[in-house]
């Protein structure tokens, strides 16, 4: 077996220990004579998996009983639509902070449903910086405030939850969830597609303050209603059972790593190693303002963009995969989620130094 070092932005690297456990359990899961993919989601055994996964999410993130934890489908993108449909009424305003590609997409979808407003827009800095808090135009009566703590494409991260007064804060944490401890009580909703920092694609985690479950207009169909999902244990219809199971293994793995404090310290070290390598070189550059650089997605450019193809080709020969930047940005991007080991970053940094040496 040969595993590569996978810097994909998502679906992304998973812990090898988790993959090996899943492989071992596939033909005959817990003595059932079936794989976990072949059992009923209503079976006792699967319900135990589902409940344990929820308990582990609560323990890892320190989530109180004031919040519902839902395991849904449709990705983060589906929540872009469901959030305004559930958390606001016709005529309400939804406040959106724009810091890059994903927050803009969430804003556009909210606009389809409600009166979505732009609180501030990072366009002036080409989304390499977060607009200063003093410049935000908040609406005191907004149904909620939406932002994207980590912009997966631009590599811009807002490291502390923003203070927006009494307005509920809704955060798309798709690419930063569980990368460090967060104070969940500062949020009304945290949501994330699983395929970056949690597990396989197809599962979406939604953590919602319970009082907000009551807000949905009466004419909203059941399947689009968070309260129905929460009341039904996220089993209103057949859930993505394999994704739920595998994510559960990742939660166990995170606990074995020492929980989110230890994981966060490691992630900070990993990011520093890569940013230091970029900053001390005159060949590589990262455009993002230092205070809002992402710990999870690190875009960087080469001083000679005509060498991008060569860089990627030689990197692949070293087993350093999926470093091509997003088509909208160009250059390179290294996504260094929880499951990326420190040795993976070291291998990348070593490769970058060697490439610079032979090309300058
Ligand atoms: C990947 C990503 C999304 C889209 O997720 P889907 O699960 O594909 O809908 C949304 N927001 C952020 C921040 C992302 O990184």
Q: What is the pLDDT of residues 161-170, one digit of tens each?
A: 999 999 999 9
Distance 203 CA to ligand 1 centre (A): 11
Tens of pLDDT, residues 174-209: 999 999 999 999 999 999 999 999 999 999 999 999
Q: Give the per-residue pLDDT at 330.
A: 86
Please tell me the least confidently modeled range out of 57-61, 138-142, 173-177, 206-210. Answer: 138-142
267 ligand 1 Cβ < 6 A:
no
Average pLDDT of the segment spanning 324-344: 94
Region 273-281: what's the mean pLDDT? 98
Please check the confidence at residue 1 and state whether its pLDDT lies above 80.
Answer: no
Query: 280 CA to middle of ligand 1, Å?
Result: 32
| Domain residue ranges in the chain | 16-256, 258-358
Asked if 136 is an active-site residue, the reply is: no
- 304 CA to centre of ligand 1 in angstroms: 31
Ligand 1 contact via 193 beta carbon (within 6 Å): yes
Alpha-carbon gap, residue 169 to 336, rounded angstroms: 26
Instruction: Check if the beta carbon of residue 200 is closer than 8 Å to that of residue 71.
Output: no
Mean pLDDT of 86-105: 97
Whether residue 253 lies in the annotated active site: no
331 lines ligand 1 (CB under 6 A): no
Does residue 102 have its Cβ closer than 6 Å to ligand 1? yes
Residue 29 among the catalytic residues: no
Q: What are the CB-based long-range contacts (under 8 Å, 24+) for 329-333?
A: 329/153, 329/154, 329/299, 330/301, 330/305, 331/299, 331/300, 331/301, 331/302, 331/305, 332/299, 332/300, 332/301, 332/302, 332/308, 333/7, 333/9, 333/153, 333/155, 333/297, 333/298, 333/299, 333/300
Confidence of residue 329 (pLDDT cuts 50, 70, 90): confident
Dist. CA 190–CA 284, nearest whole Å: 34
Pairing, β 169-172 against β 320-321: unpaired
| Residue 328's pLDDT band (cuts 50, 70, 90) | confident
Mean pLDDT of 326-331: 87
Atom of ligand 1 nearest to the CA of 76: 9
> SS3 of 23, please?
helix
Asked if residue 110 has pLDDT above 80, the reply is yes
Same topology between domain 16-256 and domain 258-358: no
Give the chain's mean pLDDT: 97
- Cβ atoms of 217 and 90 within 8 Å: the answer is yes
Level-2 CATH architecture, domain 16-256: 3-Layer(aba) Sandwich (3.40)
pLDDT at residue 271 in the model: 98
Tell me the CATH architecture of domain 258-358. Alpha-Beta Complex (3.90)
Q: Is the C-beta atom of 101 inside 6 A of ligand 1? A: no
| pLDDT score of 111 | 98
Whole-number pLDDT of residue 138 = 96
Per residue in 197-244, pLDDT (tens digit) is 999 999 999 999 999 999 999 999 999 999 999 999 999 999 999 999
- pLDDT tier at 11 (50, 70, 90 boundaries)? very high
pLDDT class of 311 with cuts at 50, 70, 90: very high
Q: Ligand 1 centre and the CA of 76: distance in Å? A: 5
Tell me which residue has its CA closest to atom 8 in ligand 1: 75
Q: What are phi and psi of 68, to 5 degrees?
A: -90, 145
The pLDDT score that the predictor gives to residue 349 is: 98
Confirm or reject: Cβ of 109 under 6 Å from ligand 1: no
Residue with the smallest CA separation from ligand 1 atom 2 is: 174
Instruction: Find out whether the beta carbon of 128 lies less than 6 Å from any atom of ligand 1.
Output: no
Confidence of residue 5 (pLDDT cuts 50, 70, 90): very high
- Cα(192) to centroid of ligand 1, in Å? 7
Active-site residue identified among 102, 244, 253, 295 = 102
Ligand 1 pocket check: which of 8, 9, 10, 198 to mutate, most ligand atoms within 8 Å of Cβ? 10
């Amino acid at each position: 077996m040969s595993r590569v070092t996978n810097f994909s932005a998502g679906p992304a690297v998973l812990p090898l220990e988790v993959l090996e456990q899943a492989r071992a359990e596939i033909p005959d899961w817990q003595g059932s004579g079936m794989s976990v993919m072949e059992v009923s989601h209503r079976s006792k055994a699967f319900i135990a998996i589902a409940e344990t996964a929820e308990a582990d999410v609560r323990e890892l993130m320190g989530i109180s009983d004031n919040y519902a934890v839902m395991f849904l489908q449709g990705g983060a993108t589906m929540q872009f639509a469901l959030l305004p449909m559930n958390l606001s009424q016709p005529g309400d305003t939804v406040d959106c902070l724009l810091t890059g590609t994903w927050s803009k997409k969430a804003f556009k979808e909210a606009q389809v449903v409600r009166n979505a407003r732009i609180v501030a827009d990072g366009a002036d800095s080409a989304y390499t910086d977060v607009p200063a808090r003093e410049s935000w135009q908040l609406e005191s009566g907004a149904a909620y405030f939406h932002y994207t703590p980590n912009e997966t494409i631009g590599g811009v991260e807002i490291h502390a939850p923003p203070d927006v007064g009494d307005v509920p804060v809704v955060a798309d944490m798709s690419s930063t969830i569980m990368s460090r401890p967060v104070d969940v009580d500062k949020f009304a909703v945290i949501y994330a597609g699983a395929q970056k920092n949690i597990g396989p694609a197809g599962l979406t985690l939604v953590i919602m303050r319970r009082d907000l479950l009551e807000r949905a207009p009466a004419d909203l169909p059941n399947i689009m209603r968070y309260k129905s999902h929460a009341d039904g244990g996220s089993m209103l219809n057949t859930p993505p059972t394999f994704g739920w199971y595998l994510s559960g293994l990742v939660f166990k793995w995170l606990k074995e790593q020492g929980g989110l404090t230890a994981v966060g310290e490691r992630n900070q070290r990993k990011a520093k190693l890569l940013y230091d390598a970029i900053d001390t070189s005159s060949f590589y550059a990262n455009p993002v303002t230092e205070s809002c650089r992402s710990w999870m997605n690190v875009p960087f450019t080469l001083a000679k963009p005509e060498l991008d193809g060569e860089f990627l080709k030689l990197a692949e020969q070293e087993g350093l995969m999926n470093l091509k930047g997003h088509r909208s940005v160009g250059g390179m991007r290294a996504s260094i989620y929880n499951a990326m080991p420190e040795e993976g970053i070291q291998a990348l940094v070593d490769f970058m130094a060697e490439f610079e040496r032979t090309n300058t």
